[in-house]
Amino acid sequence: MAGDALPSVAGWEPKDWLALIAATSTILALFFSNLVSKRTLAASRYATDTASWQKANEAELKAIEAQLDTFYAPLLQKSETNLLLSRDLRARQKDSGRFLLLEKLFDKAWRAGLSEGERELVSELVENARAIRAFVAGRPPMSAALIPYLSRADAHYRILQLAYEQKLGDDPAPWVELYIYPKAVDGVLKLEVQRLQMRAALLRANPGNKSPPMEALKIPGELELKPWVDPPREARPELRAPLAPKT
């Protein structure tokens, strides 16, 4: 019988060996079952995390692509069109090296001497300025660092419209220096597009992995805006009168 093959050591009977074997088998079974359970749980957790990060990455990628396709690309295209038209108009002027459209719009003699094509160019530039202002309004950029730049461009375009409509008087001096178009705007917009494109490429390359936070837009010193005019205010004691006592 099988029990006869089991040795008898220090008073152990075959039934004792059978009990030991059964207990050992149970312990090993529990050990391997626990190991498999841990591996299964880890695999399940990994799959859940991967799915969660993939969903988050897809949402971020979709938002970036929407900004690039519906905001930055059209804005840069409109801005580039305005640049080309303004260069064409400037190239037609005798004083092209010193020509500023905003300044010339105050010169009635210059406006009267424009050819039909030049008048149409000026009209188109002002209309594009109006279109750019309308396009940007209500479309906040992804980076708050762009707001001062878009605001400066908006101010330039608005003053350009008012000068074209002859609503600012005859003297360009109070307007030209402050409201000239800041070239840094286009440079910063292109940097932002590069930043978003690099982020989109990272998300596409690692769809199921946790991505580091997107780096903030870094604006180099040569693209920083000059301080806006901000005259000091005089004290106004009458504006700080104490509130009337409650009755």
Mean pLDDT of all residues in the chain? 85
Burial class (CB in 10 A: 0-12, 13-18, 19+), 155: middle
Alpha carbon distance 141, 136 (integer Å): 9
Burial 1-32 (b: 16+ CB within 10 A, else e): eeeeebeeeeeeeeeebeeeeeeeeeeeeeee
Of 45 and 204, the structure prediction assigns the larger pLDDT to: 204
Do residues 153 and 128 make contact, with C-beta atoms less than 8 angstroms apart? no
Q: What pTM was estimated for this model as a whole? A: 0.74
Of 207 and 16, the structure prediction assigns the larger pLDDT to: 207
What average pLDDT does this structure show over 164-180? 94
